[in-house]
C-alpha cells in the first residue's frame, strides 16, 4: 500500500503545470473574501483562474457540504466527519483541481487538507497518523504550492461571524475547540514555513489583501 501511494504522489507532482493556492484559517478570518479578491486580481492580470472551496467544489461535494455544515446534523461522529471531508476532497481533486492545474490555470481554494489536520486532528483530537494515512490516499501527495494562513484570535473571529449572522455546525463548537484548531494551524505552519505563509488577519480587508498579493506575486515570479 505504501509503495502505491508513493507512486501516485510522484505521478501527480510530475504532471503539475499550473499553480495551486489554498487559504486556511479559523472561523472569521476572512478567507472567503480574500480568496475572491485574489481571484479578481489575478484574472485582471490575465491569468486563467479557478476559484473553489472545501467542502464543496463539485455537485457531490456540495451535497456533502450540506451534510457537514447543517446545524441539524450535530450527531455526526468525529470519524464520520473526517471521512466525509475526505470524500468531498477526493471528488474535488479529480473533477476540479487536477484538470485545472494540468490546464495551466491558477487554482485558488478556500480550505484544503490543512483544514482537516487542524479541525479533525487538533480540534477533534483524532490521531494525526490516522489522518495522514487517509489523506495520502485521497490527495495522492498533492499539496498547494503556497498556503495563505490567515491568523486571528478565536474570540474576534467568532464575533465577526456573529456580526454577519453566519452560523454552521462547526461554529457552534465551544471556544476551547476553536482554540485547539488555531493552535493546530500554528503548529502546521511552523513545520512547513516555505509553503505556509502566516498573515495577521486582524487588519482591514485592504491591508490583508495587499499582503496576499505580495506573497502570491513573489511565488509567481519565482516560477
Average pLDDT rounded to a whole number, residues 183-207: 97
Residues 6+ positions from 133 with CB-CB distance below 8 Å: none
Overall average pLDDT of the 129-140 stretch: 96
Q: Give the separation between CA 133 and CA 141, rounded to whole angstroms.
A: 11
Share of the chain above pLDDT 70, in %: 90
| Mean pLDDT taken over the chain | 90
pLDDT confidence tier of residue 167, bands split at 50, 70 and 90: low
Cα–Cα distance, 46 to 199 (Å, whole number): 26
For 198, phi then psi, to 5°, come to -85, 130
Find, among 156, 145, 144, 147, the residue nearest to 201 by Cα. Answer: 156
Which pLDDT tens digit goes with each residue over 59-86? Answer: 999 999 999 988 888 899 999 999 999 9
Residue 21: closest CA among 207, 215, 182, 185? 215
CA 44 to chain centre: 24
DSSP letters spanning 102-165: HTTPEEEEE--HHHHIIIIIIIT---HHHHHHHHHHHHTT---SEEEEEE--HHHHHHHHHHTT
φ and ψ of 119, to 5 deg: -80, -50
Q: How many other CB atoms are found less than 10 A from the CB of residue 42? A: 22
**196-200 β-sheet, strand order:** 49-53, 106-110, 19-25, 146-151, 196-200
DSSP assignment letter at 81 = H
What are 87-119's pLDDT values in tens digits? 999 999 999 999 999 999 999 999 999 999 999
Mean pLDDT, residues 15-29 taken together: 89
> How high is the pLDDT of residue 180?
97
pLDDT above 50: residue 50: yes
**Is the model's pLDDT at 6 over the cut of 90?**
no
User: Whole-angstrom Cα distance, residue 10 to residue 53?
Assistant: 25
Kindly list the structural domains of the chain, giving each domain's residue range(s) and its CATH number in brackets, ordered by start: 2-221 (3.40.50.300)
To the question of pTM greater than 0.75 for the whole model, the response is yes
75 φ, ψ (degrees, to nearest 5): -85, 0
Q: Which three cell numbers stand for residue 109?
A: 481554494
- Counting residues of the chain whose pLDDT is more than 90, the rounded percentage is 78
Amino acid at each position: 500500500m505504501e509503495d502505491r501511494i508513493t507512486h501516485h504522489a510522484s505521478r501527480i507532482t510530475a504532471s503539475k503545470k499550473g499553480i495551486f493556492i489554498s487559504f486556511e484559517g479559523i472561523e472569521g478570518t476572512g478567507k472567503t473574501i480574500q480568496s475572491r479578491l485574489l481571484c479578481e486580481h489575478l484574472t485582471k492580470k490575465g491569468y486563467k483562474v479557478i476559484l473553489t472551496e472545501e467542502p464543496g467544489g463539485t455537485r457531490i461535494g456540495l451535497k456533502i457540504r450540506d451534510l457537514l455544515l447543517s446545524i441539524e446534523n450535530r450527531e455526526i461522529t468525529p470519524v464520520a466527519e473526517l471521512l466525509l471531508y475526505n470524500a468531498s476532497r477526493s471528488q474535488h481533486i479529480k473533477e476540479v483541481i487536477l484538470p485545472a492545474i494540468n490546464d495551466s490555470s491558477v487554482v485558488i481554494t478556500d480550505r484544503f487538507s490543512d483544514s482537516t489536520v487542524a479541525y479533525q486532528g487538533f480540534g477533534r483530537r483524532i490521531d494525526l497518523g490516522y489522518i495522514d494515512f487517509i489523506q495520502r490516499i485521497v490527495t495522492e501527495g498533492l499539496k498547494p504550492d503556497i498556503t495563505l494562513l490567515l491568523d486571528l484570535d478565536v474570540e474576534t473571529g467568532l464575533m465577526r461571524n456573529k456580526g454577519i449572522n453566519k452560523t454552521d455546525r462547526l461554529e457552534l463548537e465551544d471556544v476551547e475547540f476553536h482554540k485547539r484548531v488555531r493552535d493546530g494551524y500554528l503548529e502546521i505552519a511552523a513545520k512547513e514555513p516555505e509553503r505556509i505563509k502566516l498573515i495577521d488577519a486582524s487588519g482591514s480587508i485592504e491591508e490583508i489583501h495587499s499582503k496576499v498579493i505580495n506573497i502570491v506575486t513573489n511565488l509567481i515570479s519565482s516560477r
